[in-house]
Structure 1
Amino acid sequence: MTSSLIRGRPRRATAHISVRVAHAVLGAAVGTGWLVLPVMTAGAQDPVPVAPAGTVASAAAPQQDETSAADLVLPLVAGVAALGLAGYGCLRRTRRARTRTTPGIVSVAPPALTPADFERQARAALVLADDCVRTSREELTFVQRQFGEAETEPFVHALRAAETELTAACAIWRRYEQGVPKDAAARRQALVGVVGRCAEAGRRLDAEAPALDGLRELAGPGLAGALESAEGRFRELTGRTVTAQDTLAELHERFAASAVGPVTGYVEQAKDRLVFATVRLNEARQAADTGDGGRAAGQLRAAEGAVAQAEVLVTGVERLAARLRAAAELVPAALTGAEAELAAAREGGVREPLTTGELHARLAHADGVLAAVREERTAGPYDPLDALRRIARAVERLDTGHLGAPAAAALLVARGSVAGAEEFVAVHRGAVGPQARVLLAEAARELGADRAGQADTLARESRNLAERDVRAHGNPYPGADGGSPGLSGAVLGGVLLAEDQDGGPAASYGGPQTRGRHGFLPRA
């Protein structure tokens, strides 16, 4: 068969090359003939009668010198010209070969990136950096438990630096989505800034990963201590999971279903992670007994990741129970404080200039909200956090500028919303996209700035988007749990990096270059 390179060459190009070669050869032959001709004629007999020796020698010597010099000049010029033509032809062929656009001969430059391409890169960078930060934070809890704060300070510092870079990247993306900046070139530069910040976050974590491995020595003498620490945390969490199940049943009896909704299914998911951790801890023990330190380290890291996520789920149930109790106690004080705010507003204490109609509308709305909350409290189980949220928002619209129970209620509600969204994203990060993560980061910033109402709104939106992402993601490993219990949950939670059919390597402290270093092969 004829290769694509040959097929791609035009026939005329081949003919042109042959003609140039023939010209070069012909020129060289002519030059050589001119050089050889005097030598060939020097020995031929002269047909002219020979004169006396003395006379001929004296008269012909100058003429022979002039003739031989002239005979040599012309062939030399012809040879140089032929060589010049041949070199020029070769140079032209080289230049044409470099600039030829025939398919299959020269690669075509890739097209320029479009704004959509830059946006896709930024989204992927945000998700990757956020995953790296969360995974690093999880493993660091095990390292601190075993070695203390002094020896782990460099890793904590690197994690905080990565969190700062990620927060800045999220802020840039958030402004970009809001249309800031407006100039096309500046918007492209903003996306480059997002990618650069995320890359720096990963670099900071990658730089400390070898030192953390050197401290833990999971593939060597440090494995035994790490196993004991992980198993101790696992046993503690097993007991807390049983208690959380009882707590959840109590919450269902005391409060409305909407109040318990944020943690519905948490206990079951925690049990699933613990089952996965049980299998991996056993595998790690067996690998350690056979001297396979690398495989044991990978299995241990998978177990640690599952235990950390089970703790997040169980803690979420415990935290919600505490907040619901605190909210139920705060509702009467919030109602009283709201009544005082309404009285102040009626007396002209509103800071925002409002028309009489607008003020009356807001006061009527607030009165309706307070009346509805009072009725709910006496009708049976209700959602005290939602009641506090409605009270705080009704008072906030009046803008009296007073602090008190309504402000405390707004803060309690906002903290709960941010924590709930954080928990959900943490244990479902294998499916959650960038939008929910960015909104969560924005909610945390608003909460830190004492803007509780805005923080609550953003956190709730983040949670809704994360739940939507999980529903759309589905289960990428249907039926896999029959052979590996808890595998689907581990992949969904980002405990395993989902790079292979068996779930891939365990995620570890580090950036994109090092987070998957603790891979393990399935047991034969």
Structure 2
Amino acid sequence: MRLARLFSLLAAILTTATLVAPAATAEPPFRLPDYVTDNAGVLAGGQLASVQNAVDSLYRERNVRLWVVFVDSFAPKTAVGWTEETRLASDLSNQDAILAVATGQRSYAFLVPTAAAGGAKIDDLRHDKIEPALHNGDWAGAAIAAADGLAAKTSSGGGFSLLPLVIILGVIVLAVVVLLVWSRQRRRKRHEAEVAAAKRVDPTDPNALASVPLDALDELSRSIVVDVDNAVRTSSNELTLATEEFGEQQTQPFVRAVENAKATLQQAFNVRQQLDDAVPETPAQRRDLLTRVVVAAARANRELDAQNQAFHQLRDLVINAPDRLDTLTQKLVDVSARIDPAEGTLTQLHTEFAESALVSVARNAAAAKERLDFADNSISRARELVAKPVAGEQSELVDCVRGAEAALQQADSMLDAVDSAAGDIRRAVATLPAAIADTQQGINQAVAQLTQGGLSNTAELTAARDAAVAAVAAAQTNGSADPLGAFTQLTQADADLDRLLASVAEERENAERLGRSYDQALFTAQSRVRSVADYVDTRRGSVGPEARTRLNEAVRQLEAAQAKRKTNVAEAIAHANGASMLAAQAQQLANNDVQAAQRTYMNHYGGVGGSSNMGAVIGGIILGNILSGGMRGGFGGGFGGGGGWSSTTFGGSSGGSDGGGMLGGGGRF
């Protein structure tokens, strides 16, 4: 019994000791007093000095500071949250990394700004070096591994050989030589292609020459001056012989063309001389002078070409005069044989139709006789000149031949008109009712369009309608007396109406097409703006100013599109499309803000409070302090409220920027 009481007493003492034994003490975030802080008392003997040496070595090599802190527990905060708050409290910057270890809680966090990471792979360093050491209770080894990993020590090689450098230099020299040869050939081929293209450009158009490269323009000016100078010299020699043969009167147009070409070409030579002298010109001045050379020479050449065909025809006319006169004589006989039948046709027409219907052909037979008499006299005189050629009279021969040709052509045309008059008048009488009906239909369409209104050519269409009404009335009244005249007036009025109605139809079609485009653009813009506005409204606690600015501008563009619908539909469409584009940009920016806010919430609070609290904060429903630490003022596109987080990534302090973000993380070991 005594032994049993003794065991019971010992058990009670052990139980009481266990209950009252102190648990791992949680230590709140604090300002670090030194690079190595061991509040957990785990660094024994020379371990503290070893860690300090590693930290100092890292700073000497890379100017990066590593802060190491050992505590018993981070609870109730997460490892990353405790470490981040300690960073803030310690004024650490983007050149400060921190390794925080809760030895009793077996949690740690290793946070490294991007600027301090250098070439180190922070996640590999955590997983492969730091965590294994912590797992084994090697606290000093974990800190030294962190310092050495950030130092990114590398070993240098031994001797250095010049042979690879010589080979590389040789390859470079060879490549440069090949490149120079290839470049020279490429420039030559490009220049040839540019010159060929320049010769296809209209040389009399300065605007077309503006696109020709300067070197190609220079070569073009040289070649065209030579070509035109040769043409002027050849033309001058031929003109001297032609003047002796035909006289000055017949060759006057050719003389004037050659003199103008000489004067223009002289201007081109003067400019070319200015280009070739010792005074340099700027590229702009050189292009202007070259353009003037090419344009002047080309215009001189074109003036010579314009007279070239007529000049050669003049010489051929004299050479072939006997054959040509024989042909004209035969034609004179053929046309003369048509006079009597034409007079009989006219007599018959006068018995069928009113005098007003025959006004255009009544005197054609008599006029044709007059033309035939003139042609006969001209042919006779021309034969005299051919039989007895006299110097200086070749111009009269040319006049006689050309006069006979013109007279016979006119007589023939007059008699053709008499022959076709009967058929034309009868066809006009037969088709006049249909022409009246067709014109009346056009009048009705014009009235309908004018009644509908909204046309840009109302006055012109009204005038055409009135002219068509007058033509229909004249045709109905005098159509039988002058069917050709009435038909002509009707067809002209109808053609004018058709042209204007086609323009009206195109205008209506364009307006309808623009209207459809506007409706589609407006619908799209309204849908996008409305959806983005709803998105921002339901997530206003996390959407920042950029998205809101784009949305506001989209609304303004949408209002402008609606305001300009009636005055300028094209501008209204442009405003609607602009509203759609801005709304899409606002949606993307808002999405980015919401996603950043969600990440920040989870990193800062983990699962505390549940997804409902996170949704309420993002939606702007919860605006006061919630959970530990508070989030005063909401997220604001990255927790921008006072006392809250200053960035959606780890890091940031009063000592400097966040260095482009924070690497690393934490967990259990």
Larger-Rg structure:
2
* Higher relative contact order (CA closer than 8 Å, sequence separation 6+): 1
Which one has a larger percent helix, Structure 1 or Structure 2?
1
TM exceeding 0.5: no
- TM-score, normalization: structure 1? 0.30
